[in-house]
Amino acid sequence: MDFLSHLSGCELVSLATILAVTISQNLSPDEIDTLGNFFSALGQNLSTISGT
C-alpha cells in the first residue's frame, strides 16, 4: 500500500469520496449505513493495532 503514502491529504479525501459514491450506488440506505459502520470499525481496529 505504498502508493497511499505518496498521496496528498486532498488526494486521499478525493479518493475516499470517489470510492464512497461508487460503492454506495444501488444500495439501500440501510446497506450503506451498515457498510459505513463496518469501515469505521475497521479503521478503528487498524489504528489500535498500529499502536497510534
> For residue 17, how far is the Cα from the chain centroid?
9
Looking at residue 2, its pLDDT comes to 86
Looking at residue 41, its pLDDT comes to 98
- Written as one string, the DSSP assignment of 6-35 is TS-HHHHHHHHHHHHHHHHTT--HHHHHHH
pLDDT along the chain (52 residues), means of 10: 89 96 97 97 95 78
Tell me the pTM: 0.77
